[in-house]
Amino acid sequence: MWQLIISGSLFENVFVSLKRSAAGFALALLVAIPLGLVIGWFKKFERFIDPLLQIFRQTSALALFPVFILVFGIGETSKIAIIFWGVQWPILISTIEGVKNVDPILIKSARSMGASQFTIFRKVILPSAFPSIITGIRLSATSAILVLIAAEMMGASSGLGYLLYDTQVKYQIPKMYAAIITMSLIGIIVNYTIVAFENRVTKWK
């Protein structure tokens, strides 16, 4: 690991992987959270779209990787797309469940005090669903790195997945373990960063 650090190879590959993961993860947040809020709030829409969601959710991201390469090419877009597909589902499902499991008494109380639908959504639904959304984000954050590593092992010339595959093929076992340990450390850091954010934002719990 020290040899990889002083050569700059480790940081270079980590930066490339984190950039790809962040792009796919951010895209998943922008799509999955609003969509989950809408699906959870409108029950008729949920009944209509749920079968389609379940079909898509059961389709492995890695199984679709050749399709993404066919559509987007071998470059960065296909890797970001596969991360987006793989990580959006825990966020989406957790958001839907968070909205559906809001205490009905809170909603009835807000309505009895004359709150509008928008006010109920903003003041009751969102805060109540937030812990569940954060749980989905935690699951997805670590999945983003794992999905990317697998994608980089199949089609990349840089990144931690490429470093892992390259050292394995060249039988550079110490460097291979260094890459594995680095992945684990990144996962731990990301997880506890989100936990710290959750504890700070949801002190009211």
- Provide the pLDDT for residue 73: 80
In Å, what is the CA distance from 90 to each residue of 36, 85, 117, 189? 10, 10, 27, 19
For 87-118, what is each residue's pLDDT tens digit?
A: 898 899 999 989 888 888 888 898 888 888 88
pLDDT above 90: percentage of residues in the chain: 11
Res. 203: pLDDT tops 80? no
| pLDDT above 80 (res 142) | no
Q: How many domains is the chain partitioned into structurally?
A: 1
Question: Which of 16, 7, 2, 39 has its CA nearest to residue 157?
Answer: 16
Reported as type and span, the H/E element at residue 26 is helix 9-41
Spatial distance between the Cα atoms of 164 and 169, rounded to a whole number of angstroms: 9
Question: Which segments of 58-204 does DSSP mark as H helices, in order?
Answer: 65-72, 76-100, 104-112, 117-120, 126-154, 160-169, 173-201
Query: Over 70: is that where the pLDDT of 204 sits?
Result: no
Assess whether pLDDT exceeds 90 at residue 163. Answer: no
Looking up residue 155, the CATH number of its domain turns out to be 1.10.3720.10
- Mean pLDDT over 17-26 rounds to 88
CA distance linking residue 12 with residue 103, whole number of Å? 48
0.95 surpassed by pTM: no
Is a pLDDT exceeding 70 seen at residue 181?
yes
Q: Which domain holds residue 68?
A: 2-201
**Per-residue confidence (pLDDT) for residue 205, from 0 to 100:** 67
